[in-house]
């Protein structure tokens, strides 16, 4: 059985799905994912509030149905790339195309309904654990079914934890997500995104609080799920991203390197240096990698 969201929670989602500052063209069409969600950053530049550019002439393509990782030191603009792809903000120059369509020309609500986004903060709604996960499907018009919620909870290694508690999936959460640890709430966030079954999944440090074994299980599930999904991961932990089909290294607002883990290690650049330090046990996270200037 599928429940309908409460009107108050639905209005929260409406706010998320419509950015007041950015207007749709009259009669803006839906996003037509004819390829399955290829995201192209074409000559993209961006700055916040007339400040110095955060991103400069960014060019790369995220292939449909594959996993792409974005790495780089803190403050390089990784999360901003996600904000741009969801059109929370608009590019200053260039364009972002999804399956060949400029995202400024399609209906914003439809664009965001095709994208599931997870960051480190899980917004809990007062209601049951079931409701809090099922809510991920709300932009599709109704909550996810119990079976879909159970599948997602299993995928993020949360099923046994939930069932081990009094009331199981019917246990009530308040806004602070009481009864759950930070890592459990992070997995709730991923489960909520999974029930959306969107063709595009953006994970911004979404597994940072999890142990490596749990993270690997979740990433394996996403990679092997029957739905073809374009997955983009931002992460500092190298173990999170090394199996990606493509790794984009951002530095000084530009794409500094792009390739697979093996290609980038062989290249001997920034990524290789990060990897060498990880191997030596002196580095687990990206931010401590040497901050080299990137050429034009
Ligand atoms: N809403 C905003 N308004 C103004 N500046 C912002 C805003 N959001 C981010 N910035 C700035 O833009 C730069 C890029 O931020 P962003 O969060 O995209 O980087 P990041 O690479 O994801 O960093 P981290 O790894 O620390 O999460 C930073 O200098 C940040 O302070």
Predicted pLDDT of residue 1: 44
At residue 77, the pLDDT reads 94
Nearest to 203 by CA among 109, 97, 288, 81: 81
Query: Please, what is the average pLDDT of the chain?
Result: 87
Which among 138, 129, 213, 199 is positioned nearest to 171, based on CA atoms?
129
- Residue 282: is its pLDDT beyond 80? no
Q: Tokens 């309904």 — which residue?
A: 113
The 3 state secondary structure assigned to 37-73 is CCEEEEEEEECCCCCCCCEEEEEEEECCCCEEEEEEC
Q: Which residue has the higher pLDDT, 274 or 232?
A: 232
Q: How confident is the model at residue 292 (pLDDT cuts 50, 70, 90)?
A: very low
Q: Ligand 1 test: best mutation among 78, 89, 291, most atoms within 8 Å of CB?
A: 78
Mean pLDDT, residues 194-200: 94
What crossing angle do the helices spanning 212-224 and 146-155 adopt, rounded to 10°? 130
Range with the lowest mean pLDDT among 12-21, 94-103, 149-158, 226-235?
12-21
Q: Is the pLDDT assigned to residue 66 strictly greater than 90?
A: yes
Percent of the chain with pLDDT over 70: 88
Question: What number does the ligand 1 atom closest to the CA of 80 have?
Answer: 18
Q: Write the pLDDT tens digit of every residue in 10-52.
A: 444 444 444 557 888 888 899 999 888 999 999 999 999 878 8
pLDDT band at 283 (very low <50, low <70, confident <90, very high): low
**Of 34, 104, 25, 73, residue with least CA distance to 285:** 73
For residue 14, the surrounding DSSP H or E stretch is helix 7-17
Q: What percent of the chain has pLDDT over 90?
A: 62
Nearest CA to ligand 1 atom 6: 48
The torsion of the CA quartet 234, 237, 240, 242, rounded to 10 degrees, works out to: 100
- Rounded to the nearest angstrom, the distance between the alpha carbon of 81 and the centre of ligand 1 is 10
The distance from CA 212 to its chain's CA centroid, rounded to whole angstroms, is 18
The three-point CA angle 57-60-40 to 5° equals: 100
Q: How far apart are CA 47 and CA 260, in angstroms?
A: 29
Q: List ligand 1's pocket residues with C-beta within 6 A.
A: 48, 54, 72, 74-80
Distance 233 CA to ligand 1 centre (A): 16
Q: What is the pLDDT of residue 279?
A: 82
CB 153 within 8 A of CB 221: no
Which are the contacts of 184, defined by CB distance < 8 A and separation ≥ 6?
158, 161
Q: What is the mean predicted confidence (pLDDT) over 183-200?
A: 95
pLDDT tens digits for 134-191? 999 988 788 999 999 999 999 999 999 999 988 999 999 888 777 788 899 999 999 9
pLDDT, greater one: 81 or 21: 81
State yes or no: pLDDT of 3 exceeds 80. no
Tokens 């993209």 correspond to 44
Domain limits, the chain:
7-288
Confidence (pLDDT) at 58:
97
- Ligand 1 atom, smallest distance to 49 CA: 4
Q: Which protein residue's CA is at the shortest distance from atom 26 of ligand 1?
A: 74
The pick from 76, 208, 233 for probing ligand 1's pocket by mutation, whose C-beta has the most ligand atoms within 8 angstroms, reads 76
Fold classification of 7-288 (topology level): Rossmann fold (3.40.50)
């Amino acid at each position: 059985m599928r429940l309908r969201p409460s009107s108050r929670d639905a209005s929260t989602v409406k706010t998320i799905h419509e950015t007041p500052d950015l207007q749709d063209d009259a009669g803006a069409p839906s996003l037509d994912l004819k390829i399955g969600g290829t995201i192209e950053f074409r000559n993209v530049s961006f700055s916040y509030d007339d400040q110095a550019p955060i991103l400069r002439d960014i060019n790369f393509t995220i292939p449909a149905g594959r996993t792409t990782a974005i790495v780089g030191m803190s403050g390089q603009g990784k999360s901003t790339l996600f904000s741009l792809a969801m059109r929370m903000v608009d590019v200053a120059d260039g364009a972002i195309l999804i399956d060949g369509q400029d995202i400024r020309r399609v209906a914003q609500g439809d664009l965001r309904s095709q994208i599931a986004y997870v960051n480190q903060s899980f917004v809990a709604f007062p209601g049951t654990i079931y409701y809090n996960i099922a809510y991920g499907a709300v932009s599709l018009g109704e909550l996810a079914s119990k079976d879909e919620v159970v599948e997602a909870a299993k995928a993020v290694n949360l099923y046994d934890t939930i069932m081990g508690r009094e009331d199981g999936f019917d246990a009530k959460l308040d806004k602070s997500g009481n009864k759950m640890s930070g890592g459990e709430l992070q997995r709730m966030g991923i489960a909520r995104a999974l029930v959306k079954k969107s063709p595009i999944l953006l994970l911004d440090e979404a597994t940072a609080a999890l142990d490596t074994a749990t993270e690997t299980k979740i990433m394996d599930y996403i990679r092997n799920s029957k739905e073809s999904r374009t997955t983009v991961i931002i992460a500092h932990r190298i173990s999170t991203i090394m199996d990606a089909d493509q790794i984009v290294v951002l530095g000084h607002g530009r794409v500094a390197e792009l390739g697979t883990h093996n290609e980038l290690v062989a290249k001997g650049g920034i990524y290789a240096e990060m990897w060498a330090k990880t191997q030596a046990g002196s580095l687990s996270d990206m931010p401590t990698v040497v901050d080299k200037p990137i050429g034009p």
